[in-house]
Amino acid sequence: METIEPCVIIIFGATGDLTNRKLLPALYKLELDSLLHKDTRIVAFARKPKSNEQFRKEALASTKKFSKLIINYDVWKKLASKIFYQKSEFQDAEGYNKLRNLIKKICAKNAGCNKIFYLAAPPGFFGAIIDNLRISGLNESSGWSRVVFEKPFGHDLESAKKLNETIKKDFNENQIYRIDHYLGKELVQNLLVLRFANPIFDSIWNKRYIDHVQITVAEELGIETRGDYYDKAGALRDMVQNHMMQLVALTAMEPCVKLDADDIREEKVKVLRSIRTFSSKDVNEMSVRGQYVSGTVNNKKVKAYKDEEKVAKNSDTETFVALKLNIDNWRWANVPFYLRTGKRLKERVAEISIVFKQNPEILFNNNASRASGIEPNMLIIRIQPEEGISLQFAAKVPGRKMVIDNVRMDFCHECIFGPNTPDAYEKLLYDVISGDQTLFTSWDMVEHSWELADKISNGWKRGKVLYYNPGTWGIQEADKLIEKDGRKWYEPKKPYYSALLGK
């Protein structure tokens, strides 16, 4: 508690989905855990006319709906008394003058006036909000200031650069927190511990033992109500450019000198810099894209992507991508990384599979019958829905004959550490308050990942989007992409403990 300073957290877009679904429940949890300073205040900034009381009432309803916890009303009252509402359009300079006066009134007198500007706003307004913070002098008034950006940070490299230049006029890199909520997930944070605190894994984490890496981030859901945004973005910009590049970087990075934000971010960027360059002609060799048609997922009828709300009838936006990347450095030479992500796939799952090289099958070639075909040893880091780590190996099936099957040792995160691991947003908000940038995306990372995404998207202009049935693992060309290298996708398997957890 001593290290937590008071601050005023200003949420731009405080009546929106993100605030209701994620930020309010996260603030409640921080209050519950006494991780908000008693003098911290929250200003909800949005355009609908509301009193403080009305906003607090609605905030309670959202927190009840979206928090995993049962609300303790004494804790809620404490939090509610810290929340204020400021009505304004994002573009209205006068609204920022009112905001400045409100902040002056509510911020802790004795500790300067630290401010967190959280832009939970549509990205088209990021520039206008930053300009207005400057014009009103809010970015320079007393105390420290930090500014938090939700994804997407730009639509391509050029727009990201432009946005970054606007922000850089008023904020230094150490004041800028670009959210990638995947980095707040427990199992993603666990990757560095798994790799660098465990000599057994550390020593085999390289080209000598690893054949390839597969990363799957699949959703059963479609695009829900996000057609407007998604149709301009697609799976490449929505998932690959940010979350999947972070997973690649954390899986492949070298150990850093210290566990601090700059060192970790530096090592991650080196991974992106080592990705083998490719021309637009190569793009269709190393990547495929698809879009879902109508069909059924889990016995539920679902619409085609083109029939979703706010999607163009002739849209060729991809809702599925599969991709092969080569990382040309000492550790990963000739160890490809295969990535796939999409909407309306067979199940909701995010996992990283480290697939190890196989032994020559001399011993078991003739005299072992195989129950299901010996698969390679695999280490699977399951990010969602059941967090955990599994190690797959071959074992003898009991009996007189030599029959071999694949078995898994599962580490169940929730079984060991209990339920209610912090939601990504709790962790990320707490880190902004305490000034730790480790789990936020640096500009270098944004720049390199946009470069890669732009190259892929330019290459795609030569080809056409293909179609897949909902409830599958995407277009068949994704299988061909990996099969032409003599490999295959390993279908995610439910860990043994998922029944225990009721998932």
494 near ligand NAP, rule: CB under 6 A: no
Helix, coil or strand: residue 211: strand
Compute the least distance from the CB of residue 44 to ligand NAP, in Å: 9
Q: Would you say 427 or 455 has its CB closer to ligand NAP?
A: 427
Compute the least distance from the CB of residue 13 to ligand NAP, in Å: 3
CA dihedral 465, 470, 471, 474 (to 10 degrees): 0
CA dihedral 429, 431, 434, 438 (to 10 degrees): -150
Q: Would you say 58 or 454 has its CB closer to ligand NAP?
A: 58
Which one is catalytic: 155, 212, 243, 413? 243
Q: Are 239 and 474 in contact (CB under 8 A)?
A: no
123 near ligand NAP, rule: CB under 6 A: yes
Among 10, 120, 176, 264, binds ligand NAP (CB under 6 A): 120
Q: Would you say 14 or 235 has its CB closer to ligand NAP?
A: 14
DSSP 279-310: -HHHHHHHEEEEEE-SEEETTEEE--GGGSTT
Q: Would you say 156 or 262 has its CB closer to ligand NAP?
A: 156
98 near ligand NAP, rule: CB under 6 A: no
Residue number of the CB atom closest to ligand NAP: 16
428 near ligand NAP, rule: CB under 6 A: no
**Rg of the Cα atoms in the chain:** 24
Q: Would you say 16 or 422 has its CB closer to ligand NAP?
A: 16
Among 64, 111, 122, 435, binds ligand NAP (CB under 6 A): 122
228 near ligand NAP, rule: CB under 6 A: no
Residues in 6-25 at the binding interface with ligand NAP, rule: CB under 6 A: 13-18, 21
Among 121, 138, 245, 352, binds ligand NAP (CB under 6 A): 121
Separation in Å, CA 464 to CA 132, 310, 316, 458, 473: 42, 21, 8, 12, 19
Among 36, 46, 103, 108, binds ligand NAP (CB under 6 A): 46
Q: Would you say 120 or 439 has its CB closer to ligand NAP?
A: 120
Residue linked to tokens 């996260």: 26
Q: Using CA atoms, how far apart are residues 146 and 115, in angstroms rounded to an integer? A: 6
Q: Would you say 47 or 207 has its CB closer to ligand NAP?
A: 47
Q: Using CA atoms, how far apart are residues 29 and 244, in angstroms rounded to an integer? A: 28
302 near ligand NAP, rule: CB under 6 A: no
127 near ligand NAP, rule: CB under 6 A: no
Residues in 377-406 at the binding interface with ligand NAP, rule: CB under 6 A: none
Q: Using CA atoms, how far apart are residues 150 and 125, in angstroms rounded to an integer? A: 12
Q: Are 323 and 460 in contact (CB under 8 A)?
A: no
Verify whether residue 243 is a known catalytic residue.
Answer: yes
Q: Would you say 260 or 309 has its CB closer to ligand NAP?
A: 309
47 near ligand NAP, rule: CB under 6 A: yes
Amino acid in the structure at residue 275: I
460: exposed, middle or buried (Cβ count in 10 Å: 0-12, 13-18, 19+):
buried
151 near ligand NAP, rule: CB under 6 A: yes
The tokens describing 375, both together, are 């698969």
Compute the least distance from the CB of residue 477 to ligand NAP, in Å: 29
Q: Using CA atoms, how far apart are residues 19 and 15, in angstroms rounded to an integer? A: 7
Which strands, in side-by-side order, build the sheet including 378-384? 369-370, 403-412, 388-397, 378-384, 349-356, 210-218, 337-342, 320-325, 287-292, 466-468
Among 26, 30, 56, 150, binds ligand NAP (CB under 6 A): 150
448 near ligand NAP, rule: CB under 6 A: no
Q: Using CA atoms, how far apart are residues 484 and 366, in angstroms rounded to an integer? A: 27
Compute the least distance from the CB of residue 102 to ligand NAP, in Å: 16
> Pairing relation of β-strands 369-370 and 349-356?
unpaired
Compute the least distance from the CB of residue 121 to ligand NAP, in Å: 5
87 near ligand NAP, rule: CB under 6 A: no
Residues in 130-149 at the binding interface with ligand NAP, rule: CB under 6 A: none
Q: Could you give the count of Cα atoms lying within 13 Å of 98 in the half-sphere of its Cβ?
A: 15
Compute the least distance from the CB of residue 49 to ligand NAP, in Å: 10
Residues forming contacts to ligand NAP in the complex (CB under 6 A) are 13-18, 21, 46-48, 89-90, 120-123, 150-151
Which residues are annotated as catalytic? 243
